[in-house]
């Protein structure tokens, strides 16, 4: 579904990504983890075509991203950005309807299909009960749900999320990630998510990519990636990794920052 071939990117002279190669197959839930400054956000920007790669190729649904218009990209891929700027006064419904932009041929007016898709998107994300409220009045968790609904209104094959749980309490973290997981499982939406929380990453993602120093340090299932050795190298922290029987997933416990002295 998404293939990156030998991607290199930089900000002026500073190289931020080098030799990035990976492939995300259809219906896969990929988590991108790594310390601050490893290049996670840049990688997402390159993958969404917002930032141009210096060299290398990105294929979306077997099409080169550089040959696609923004509308064509938006029909394949929806993005839930990290910090969402919300102009007040727009209602939830208005915002979700904006997800239809790429599909709307007519400059004015909204089709029955647009409305039906939005209704369905709001139903899946449980936004229907507050559809007429202004988005600036909502809580952080509700707002995140609205932005995911807007992404679904694009009817994408691929969903990109940049730290969707940042600024959310633990209940809403679980709710948002549970929702994303459902979308992957039941609707086969290929999903790539940048996330800081290693435990949530291990619990929800099918596969993890650990970025370190602008390169991929490790790529695989959580048991392969979340090892004390890898995490020591990437984050410079000493950790204990255990398998939790209750959660049926790996849990990372940070023991302390590595001492250089």
Instruction: Tell me if 180 contacts another protein by CB under 8 A.
Output: no
The DSSP H or E segment spanning 205 is: none
Cα distance between residue 104 and residue 177, in whole Å: 29
Q: Whole-angstrom distance between the N-terminal and C-terminal Cα of the chain? A: 46
Spatial contact of 192 and 158, defined as CB atoms under 8 Å apart: yes
The alpha carbon of residue 21 and the mean position of all alpha carbons in its chain are separated, in whole angstroms, by: 18
Instruction: Tell me if 133 contacts another protein by CB under 8 A.
Output: no
**Among residues 33, 47, 58, 78, the one that binds another protein under rule CB under 8 A:** 78
**Among residues 85, 186, 246, 256, the one that binds another protein under rule CB under 8 A:** 85
DSSP class of residue 122 equals H
**Among residues 5, 18, 94, 120, the one that binds another protein under rule CB under 8 A:** 94
Instruction: Tell me if 65 contacts another protein by CB under 8 A.
Output: no
Spatial contact of 206 and 30, defined as CB atoms under 8 Å apart: yes
Cα distance between residue 88 and residue 31, in whole Å: 31
Instruction: Tell me if 10 contacts another protein by CB under 8 A.
Output: no
Instruction: Tell me if 75 contacts another protein by CB under 8 A.
Output: yes
Point out which span in 13-21, 88-96, 166-174, 195-203 binds another protein (CB under 8 A).
88-96
Q: Which stretches of the chain bind another protein, using CB under 8 A?
A: 48-50, 69-71, 73-75, 77-79, 81, 84-90, 94, 98-99, 101-102, 104, 107-108, 150, 154
């Amino acid at each position: 579904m998404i293939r990156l071939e030998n991607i290199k990117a930089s900000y002026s002279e500073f190289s931020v990504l080098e030799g990035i190669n990976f492939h995300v197959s259809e219906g896969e839930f990929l988590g991108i983890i790594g310390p601050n400054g490893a290049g996670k956000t840049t990688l997402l920007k390159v993958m969404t075509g917002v930032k141009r790669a210096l060299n290398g190729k990105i294929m979306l649904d077997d099409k080169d991203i550089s040959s696609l218009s923004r509308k064509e990209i938006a029909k394949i891929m929806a993005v839930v950005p990290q910090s969402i700027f919300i102009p007040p006064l727009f209602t939830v419904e208005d915002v979700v309807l904006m997800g239809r932009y790429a599909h709307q041929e007519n400059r004015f007016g909204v089709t029955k299909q647009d409305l039906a898709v939005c209704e369905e998107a709001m139903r899946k994300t449980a936004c229907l009960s507050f559809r007429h409220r202004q988005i600036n009045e909502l809580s952080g968790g509700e707002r995140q749900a609205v932005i995911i609904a807007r992404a679904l209104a694009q009817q994408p094959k691929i969903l990109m999320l940049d730290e969707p749980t940042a600024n959310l309490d633990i209940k809403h973290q679980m709710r948002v990630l549970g929702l994303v997981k459902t979308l992957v499982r039941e609707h086969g939406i290929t999903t790539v998510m940048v996330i800081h929380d290693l435990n949530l990453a291990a619990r929800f993602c099918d596969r993890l990519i650990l970025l370190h120093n602008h390169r991929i340090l490790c790529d695989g299932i959580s048991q392969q990636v979340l090892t004390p050795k890898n995490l020591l190298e990437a984050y410079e922290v000493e950790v204990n990794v255990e398998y939790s029987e209750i959660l049926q997933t790996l849990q990372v416990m940070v023991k302390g920052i590595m001492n250089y002295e």
